[in-house]
Amino acid sequence: MTRVVLIGPDSSLEDQARLLLGDQVLVIAPAETGLLLTRLLRLDARPHLVVFGAYVPPEQSLELARSLRLTVPTLAVAGSRDALTAEDTAAGIAFVLPHGAELEDVDALFVQASDRAARAASQLSSPRELRPRGEIVVVTAPKGGVGKTTIATNVALVLAAIRPHEVVLVDLDLQFGDVAEALALSPLNSMAEAVGSAASRDVLLVKHTLTMHSSGLLVLAAPPSPVHADRISATDVAIVLRQLAQEYAYVVVDTAPGLSEHTLAAIDEASQVITVTSPDVTSINGLSKELVVLRELGMLPTPHHLVLNMADRWSARVSDIESSLGESVSLSVPRSNAVGRSTNRGVPVVLDSPRDRASAQLRVLGKRIDTEQTPRRKDAR
């Protein structure tokens, strides 16, 4: 079993580590960040400690740490600096081994890493039924172009402001999802890495695939290529959502237009659903058909939020839309030029133009979701 991974160490550290732990040490040569993360993800078991050695550039060690902090109990740097920096701490690096560290210093680090791993394992082995399940909020629309991703992204950011680092936004438009682009993120991993037999056994592998936004929102991106979509089953989706809901307060899911098997699997796991329509006739007719199907399948949870997006003074009256759909409109988001500008910048409107009318309504929606969560989650606060 690999307990310690050394990436790009000098020969002295490698010799000391092997003297202390023998074949429980894995040494990996310096490489491109994505290749290193893939190598670590494919290990049979999680290491207790990853050390970024003297031959790993400081910028790369920070990038790696930000990706590994949720899955590896202890991260350290060795040989490249003598003390922790603020950037190190923010990225999750907890220890520094200065150049020329003695054997007892290396041993002390290994002991502390082992203790931290034991505490983490103890927390993970606590009975799952004692952990409150987070809210799974699924955002759907029968057709594209109605602002579904805008709604999902901004609502997730509102919730993340309420519960920092406890909200995950999942891009379930597996072929053409653009949540990462909407947030100006360049994820190293995606849903393609989150599914599979290894991930289904270890939630920490799923957490490893998340990308952190500057707001504290975590993102599980869509695969980089549409070809990956066919390799992801509805069962895979359900497993990933359940795992995330055991670890986070909110899991917001942006789906593909329509009712694919992946979307239905997500709705089946949902505690709240947001259905989005624009005021045009084709969108309303499409949503009417979608709601009929979901009602017939018994798949509309309570609460269910019907959002009228891009409403303006030329739109159909809300009462007429409600009559056509047989359901009350929960909230109207006004048409706003600020939304389009923010999208082009990769900064969602609640951050880019917080005083805009659309932003105000999106904050109302996010706070409503937070107040209408299931009693089990409320009691856990």
**C-alpha–C-alpha distance, residues 259 and 290, integer Å:** 8
pLDDT score, position 128: 44
Residue 346's contacts (CB-CB under 8 Å, 6 or more residues apart) are 181, 182, 183, 184
- Cα torsion through 366, 372, 375, 380, rounded to 10: 20
- Cα torsion through 242, 244, 247, 248, rounded to 10: -120
Express each pLDDT in 331-364 by its tens digit: 989 998 998 898 888 899 999 899 999 999 999 9
Q: Write down the residue that tokens 């990436």 correspond to.
A: 7
Express each pLDDT in 158-187 by its tens digit: 999 999 899 999 999 999 999 999 999 999
CB 275 within 8 A of CB 290: yes
Q: Is the pTM of this model over 0.85?
A: no
What is the CB neighbour count within 10 angstroms for residue 43? 14
| Residue ranges of domains in the chain, CATH in brackets | 4-124 (3.40.50.2300), 130-379 (3.40.50.300)
Express each pLDDT in 209-262 by its tens digit: 899 999 999 999 999 988 888 888 888 899 899 999 999 999 999 999 999 889
**C-alpha–C-alpha distance, residues 113 and 107, integer Å:** 10
Buried b (16+ CB within 10 A) or exposed e, 134-149: bbbbbbbbbbeebbbb
Residue 189's contacts (CB-CB under 8 Å, 6 or more residues apart) are 37, 41, 67, 208, 209, 210, 211, 221
Express each pLDDT in 182-221 by its tens digit: 999 999 889 988 886 455 556 777 888 899 999 999 999 9
CB 375 within 8 A of CB 303: no
Encoded amino acid at 285, one letter: N
